[in-house]
């Protein structure tokens, strides 16, 4: 139906006015057997990701790894500098004066964990990603203001354009739009 030859269907998107409607619709879509559903909202809504079947995120694990890595390399650096490569005998005190190394170890633990948390979050979200098919929907600009969107993606085995559009309408979506992906 599209005039552009090389565009293909990414999915169907329904628009809702309240977070409660969206959450209910997401649950119903999952119950109806759709697997590739994604909701888009202007602020985080409790339980929405879980309703989509997305329960576990690797961000905390990455943060832990970053923190441990930062701490170990921080202490290792100081030990190597103070005890191995540049030993300074000051009043016969031990070269590995570890209590004095704690502040820098702590700071680098926090630094490593924070960088891993942020970069990990962006990478798992596949950002930066300037183009995404959902941006082709005109009304999608409202997703960052006051509208709530639910997209059922075409790669879902149960997806069928007419059927799925009707399904979204039955959930009281205010507007139902096709989402085109321009190759």
Partner 1 sequence: MSATQDLRLGQEPEPWLESGHTYASVTDKISSAVLTRPVGIGWLAGFALAFSVVMMLFVAIAWLITKGVGIWGINIPIGWGFAIVNFVWWIGIGHAGTLISAILYLLNQKWRTSINRFAEAMTLFAVACAGLFPLIHTGRPWMAYYMFPYPSTMGIWPQFRSPLIWDVFAVSTYGTVSLLFWYVGLLPDLATLRDRAKTKWQQMIFGMLSMGWRGSARHWKRYQSAYLLLAGLATPLVLSVHTVVSFDFAVGIVPGWHTTIFPPYFVAGAIYSGFAMVLTLAIPMRAAYGMQDFITLRHLEQMAKVMLATGLIVAYGYFVEFFMAFYSGNKFDVFLANQRLHGPYSHFYFALILCNILTPQLLWFRKVRRNIAALFVMSLVINTGMWLERFVIVVISLTRDFMPSAWGRYSATVWDYATLVGTLGLFTMLIFLFVRGLPAIAISEMRELVHQESHGDGGHE
Binding residues for partner 1 (CB under 8 A) = 19, 26, 38-46, 48-49, 51-52, 54, 57, 59-60, 63, 67, 77-78, 81-82, 85-86, 88, 90, 97, 100-101, 103-104, 106-108, 110-111, 113-115, 117-118, 120-122, 124-125, 127-132, 134-135, 140-146
Return phi, psi of residue 45, to 5°. Answer: -120, 125
Residue 178 CB, shortest distance to partner 1, in Å, is: 17
Closer of 33 and 43 to partner 1 (Cβ): 43
3-class DSSP state for residue 152? strand
Residue tagged 């905390």 (tokens): 60
Closer of 3 and 129 to partner 1 (Cβ): 129
Q: Which residues contact 87 (CB under 8 A, 6 or more apart)?
A: 95
Cα separation of 56 and 176, whole Å? 30
Cα separation of 109 and 103, whole Å? 10
Residue 180 CB, shortest distance to partner 1, in Å, is: 16
């Amino acid at each position: 139906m599209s005039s552009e030859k090389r565009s293909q269907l990414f999915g169907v998107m329904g628009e809702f006015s309240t977070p409660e409607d969206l959450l209910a619709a997401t649950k119903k879509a999952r119950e109806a057997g759709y697997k590739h559903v994604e909701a888009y909202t202007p602020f985080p809504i409790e339980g929405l990701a879980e309703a989509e079947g997305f329960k576990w995120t690797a961000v905390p694990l990455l943060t832990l790894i970053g923190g441990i890595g930062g701490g170990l390399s921080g202490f290792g650096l100081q030990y190597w500098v103070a005890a191995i490569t540049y030993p300074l005998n000051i009043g016969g005190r031990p070269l590995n004066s570890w209590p004095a190394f704690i502040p820098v170890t702590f700071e680098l633990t926090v630094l490593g964990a924070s960088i891993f948390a942020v970069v990990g979050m962006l990478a798992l979200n596949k950002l930066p990603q300037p183009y995404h098919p959902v941006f082709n929907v005109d009304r999608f600009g409202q997703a960052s203001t006051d509208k709530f969107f639910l997209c059922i993606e075409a790669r879902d085995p149960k997806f069928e354009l007419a059927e799925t559009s009707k399904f979204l309408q039955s959930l009281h979506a205010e507007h139902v739009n096709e989402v085109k992906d321009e190759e």
